[in-house]
Structure formats: structure tokens, C-alpha cells
Amino acid sequence: MGRLDGKVAWVTGAGSGIGAATARSLGAEGATVVLSGRRREPLEEVAREIGAAASVEPCDVTDPAAVRAVVERITARSGRLDILVANAGVNVVERDWARLRPEDAAAMIAGNLTQAFHCALAVLPVMRAQRDGVLVFTASIAGRLVKLLSGPAYTAAKHGLVAMGHALNIQEGVNGIRATVILPGEVATPLLDKRPVPVPAEERARMLQPEDVADLVRYVVCLPPRVTLPEIWITPTWNRLHLAELDPAGMPRPATPPWE
């Protein structure tokens, strides 16, 4: 018996990385899993691994009508929707202020923040009627820390996503609905291929792996309905952000601030 037997979960960005690992992990716990992403192929591959309890709904989550249509099909088929993992996200290589294009800035906000509103707004009426539901949003430590590495548009969008999760809990807890925003540090997924400075394989091997975040999502959604975890950080122990502040001997790197 799985802890999610009888539950229906919708995972976005489920064709790769954290979303694929999460779909597998919720499926292994007994949930009926619906996988979304823009490309059908990778979704079908992951669904095949999970088995009969998985199905695919290719969808661009930046399109609110397409998102609503997916939720309508899920509820028409299953009669319920218990778990949303709004995990899809994007970044671009040319992300710094000198190279960021207005259309890319808009795509970062749409692809990391606005789409999560579309997904939440589509599932909330179903969850309110059930008086039960869990929403998990994959943000990033860039949702709390302002660093140049992630780029200003991604950073701003993920800050917005963290705020959105907290705001959701304020109003929807009375309806039995809880939201968790997860803030991962570096995870070895295809998203790293968009880094302006390539990330070597040996460094990816020391980071968080998609399964680490998927395990956390599974933990969150299996908690009793009375428990809400509004915000969780999960970071690699070998943390390149921290390493940047240390010298080779592990001591704080001497700073030479411009005011000295």
C-alpha cells in the first residue's frame, strides 16, 4: 500500500530533471500521476517507466486556457485533483544586465512566475470543493538570495513565487489547502546547460540530484492535512555559493570592498 493510493497528482515540467524524478516518486507511492511539459516525447518516456497509473498532458503552462483545459480533463477523468507540483521553470544563457533582452525578461517572468499562478488558479476551485489539496512550487534559493549567477529576471520571478506561496496559505488554509515552496540550491539537471559558464560533469556529480528534491516533495505531500510547510530550502553540502567565499584552505576569502 502506498501512502498516496487514491490520490491524483499533476506535475509540471515532468519530462526531465526534478519534475521527472518527482513524478516517479509520487507514482511509486501509489498516486495517479499526470505529467505535463511542452514536449510530448520525454513525458511519455517517464510515464512509461511509472506504468499504468501515469498519463501525459502536454501543455505550455504559460497559456492559461491550455492549463485550464488540462485540469478539466484530469477532473473529468479522475473526479479529483489532490496534488499540484508546479515545477516547470526556465532560464536563459544571456541573463546578465548587459545582455538580457526585454523578450527574455518577459519570458523569465512568464515561465517561472505567471505560469504558477495559472496552475494554482486552475486547481484551487477543485481543491476548495474537496476541502483538501497540496500545492508544491519549485522556486530556488534565487527566490531568497540575490546573486548575479541566476540572472536578475529569474531571481525576481523566483522571489515572486516564494511570496505567492505564502500568500496562498494565508487565504486557503481555511479551505483545507496548503502550499509549500521549495528552494533548491544547485541540482544536476538539464537546466544547468543554460549556465553562461559550463558546469563540468564532476561538479554536477557533487550537487543535489533530482531524486533528492523529489524525496522532499514526496515527504511534503504525504504529511497529514493538518501540517503545512510553507517554505523549505534544500542545498548541496558541497555548496559552490559558499565555496566562492572561501580560500583553498577553507578560510574566509579576504574581501577588498571598494570603500577601503
Ligand X SMILES: NC(=O)c1ccc[n+]([C@@H]2O[C@H](COP(=O)([O-])OP(=O)(O)OC[C@H]3O[C@@H](n4cnc5c(N)ncnc54)[C@H](OP(=O)(O)O)[C@@H]3O)[C@@H](O)[C@H]2O)c1
Q: Point out which residues bind ligand X (CB under 6 A).
A: 12-13, 15-19, 36-39, 60-62, 87-90, 111, 115, 138, 140, 184, 186-187, 189-192
Instruction: Name the active-site residue from 154, 164, 182, 185.
Output: 154
Long-range contacts of 26-29 (CB under 8 A, 24+ apart): 26/83, 26/85, 26/217, 26/218, 26/221, 27/51, 27/53, 27/54, 28/2, 29/2, 29/3, 29/4, 29/218, 29/222
What do you get for the CA distance between the two ends of the chain, in Å? Answer: 64
- Residues of the chain by 3-state class (helix, strand, coil), percent to 5: 45, 15, 40
Tell me how far, at minimum, the Cβ of 72 lies from ligand X, in Å.
17
129 vs 31: CA distance, rounded Å? 20
Q: Which is nearer to ligand X, 15 or 133 (CB)?
A: 15
Tell me how far, at minimum, the Cβ of 38 lies from ligand X, in Å.
3
Burial label, 39 (beta-carbon count in 10 A; 0-12, 13-18, 19+): exposed
Is residue 219 annotated as a catalytic residue, yes or no? Answer: no
Q: Which is nearer to ligand X, 96 or 247 (CB)?
A: 96
Q: Which is nearer to ligand X, 109 or 176 (CB)?
A: 109
Q: Which is nearer to ligand X, 36 or 169 (CB)?
A: 36
Tell me how far, at minimum, the Cβ of 245 lies from ligand X, in Å.
19
Tell me how far, at minimum, the Cβ of 41 lies from ligand X, in Å.
8
Q: Which residues are part of the catalytic machinery?
A: 154
